[in-house]
Copies of this chain bind each other. A is one copy, B any other.
Amino acid sequence: MTERLDDIMNAAERRIRSSGYNGFSFREIATDVGIKSASVHYHFPTKADLAAAVARRYRERFEAGVADDEASGMPRISAWRDAFRRALSDDGLMCLCGILAVEGDNLPEPVIAEVRRFMELGIERLNNATGDEDAGPRIMARLEGAMLVARSMGDTRIFDRATEDML
């Protein structure tokens, strides 16, 4: 039913995580999915709509992944580390919110808002888990940074080596 919507969002997520918001076009998404760009606009009127929807879904999926790990007894820090590791190893791509975060202030307001929500979520959860209000920013920084460096060196194992003490 809504499989077409999913196809579009999947293609958009892959493209954004590869090249960023300014690095993909509606025509590319359309080609990936096998339709025309006008049809993509039918589902998402503007580029900002599409990117914001993808960012929201990413955050919700991320949150659910962490919750699953915690439900099976994993400590919260390890669960967040595991969720980042999964995002990196599943497809070798950067964190969606990480790349949107660095692309910065020229992005549409709704996209920026979703990214900030992702960061706030992680910081708050990790602060609560540790009782240390510096722990949230520090752990999120390590995880985003480990993805960034691993990606720039083209070596996933760098993420593991830079975060193995968090297990």
| 8 Å CB interface, A103-121 against B | 103-106, 115-116, 119-120
The interface size of chain A toward B, counting residues with CB under 8 Å, comes to 41
Cross-chain contact A149 with B18 (CB below 8 angstroms) = no
Chain B residues lying within 8 Å of A116, measured Cβ to Cβ, are: 152-153
Q: Does A97 contact B (CB under 8 A)?
A: yes
Give the residue among A22, A105, A146, A148 with the most B Cβ atoms within 10 A. Answer: A148
CB distance from A161 to the nearest CB of B (A): 5
Question: Quick one: given A19-B106, A102-B20, A104-B94, are A146 and B152 in contact (CB under 8 Å)?
Answer: no
- List chain A positions with a Cβ less than 8 A from chain B: 18-20, 22-23, 94, 97-99, 101-106, 115-116, 119-120, 123, 134, 137-138, 140-146, 148-153, 158, 161-164
